Structure 1
Amino acid sequence: MTAQKGRDLLLKTDSSGTGSFTTVAGLRTHALSFNAQTVDITHAESAGAWRELLAGAGIKSASIRGQGLFKDDASDVLVRQFMFDGTIRDWQVIIPDFGTVSGPFQVTALEYSGQHDGELTFELALESAGLLSFAAA
């Protein structure tokens, strides 16, 4: 992947559960991480006593973190309600010239902050809650 502007990464959600995605915020910082747990199958006869792992057996997960400004009052209300209700909804992370990661996520953290001479910002964390898909750009 070549160098790109960080602001081009978009975070969208299916606000109503009907498959229609809308951008919820103007994010200033964002991060998407993928994780896979390992399953250790090392035993007394493992070559040289080196650890052995079982291929494809661990739990996969993804996390999204972002900080920025809500697009509008409706976006603020929507994400806040998802947080309070523990709603699992489909989200999309669009990475230009790379692709789109889509699937169910749950809002696991929502924090508001601001300085006396600046705007109110928020920080949000999402955790995957099911099968994710990737569509190359």
Structure 2
Amino acid sequence: MSQQLGRLLLIQIGDGADPGPETFNNLCGLKTRSFNLSASEIDTTIPSCTNPGDEVQKTSRPGMVNRTFTGSGAFVSSVAMTAFMDKVINATVFNAKVIVPGLGTFTGPFFVTDFEASGDMENNMEFSATFVPGDSLTFVAA
């Protein structure tokens, strides 16, 4: 079993080409990134009807799933960043791929729910963004 490099956890933004195959490019500048895979828990616990004084066993089933990508890093001016910022500014859904090394790729429509640009007097401008699915995602195992 091999270790995976964190810098290979990527989000790629689709160019929206129509017709024709869509091209996906890495969102450049990311220094930190994370991808959350979670599901809400729905309680299905029912106390014993025949012996209500018995120990109650908690049971659950999965509810809504969450697939959220967050990243932050250097704001790198480019044609791709300009196209990405247009989607952020206009709250547009776009196709993206989240590549999780050693696991696989999640592909589908995403939009940015939170974007922040920051900087101080001496350092370069940085940004952070949160991406959530706009619809169901397709998963292809690595």
TM bracket (short chain): 0.7 to 0.9
2:11 corresponds to 1:11: yes
TM-score computed with the length of structure 1 as normaliser? 0.83
Supply the distance in 2 between the matched residues of 1:133 and 1:113 (Cα, whole angstroms).
Answer: 33
User: What letter corresponds to residue 45 of structure 1 in structure 2?
Assistant: S
What RMSD in Å do the two structures reach over aligned CA positions? 2.2
Between 110-119 and 10-19, report the one with greater CA deviation: 10-19
Between 119-128 and 93-102, report the one with greater CA deviation: 93-102
TM-score computed with the length of structure 2 as normaliser? 0.80
Q: Partner residue of 2:38?
A: 35
Rg larger in 1 or in 2?
2
Instruction: Structure 1 unaligned segments of length 5 or more: list them.
Output: none
CA 1:130 to 1:17, structure 2 compared with 1: closer, same or farther past 3 Å? farther
Supply the distance in 2 between the matched residues of 1:36 and 1:87 (Cα, whole angstroms).
Answer: 25
Identity rate of aligned residues, in percent? 27
User: What letter corresponds to residue 127 of structure 1 in structure 2?
Assistant: V
Supply the distance in 1 between the matched residues of 2:58 and 2:70 (Cα, whole angstroms).
Answer: 32
2:11–2:26 contact (8 Å) kept in structure 1: yes
C-alpha deviations, 1:45-81, integer Å up to 9, x for none?
2872222213x4x111211100112443323332322
2:60 corresponds to 1:53: yes
Supply the distance in 1 between the matched residues of 2:39 and 2:12 (Cα, whole angstroms).
Answer: 24
What is the CA-CA distance between 1:17 and the residue it aligns to? 5.3
Supply the distance in 1 between the matched residues of 2:46 and 2:73 (Cα, whole angstroms).
Answer: 48
Q: Partner residue of 1:114?
A: 119
Q: Partner residue of 1:84?
A: 89
CA 1:43 to 1:28, structure 2 compared with 1: closer, same or farther past 3 Å? same
2:81 corresponds to 1:65: no
C-alpha deviations, 1:103-126, integer Å up to 9, x for none?
221101111111222111100101
Supply the distance in 2 between the matched residues of 1:34 and 1:83 (Cα, whole angstroms).
Answer: 23
Q: Partner residue of 1:99?
A: 104
User: Aligned pairs, how many?
Assistant: 135
Q: Partner residue of 1:20?
A: 23
What is the CA-CA distance between 1:127 and the residue it aligns to? 1.1
What is the CA-CA distance between 1:135 and the residue it aligns to? 1.6
Task: Give 1 or 2: higher helix fraction.
Answer: 1
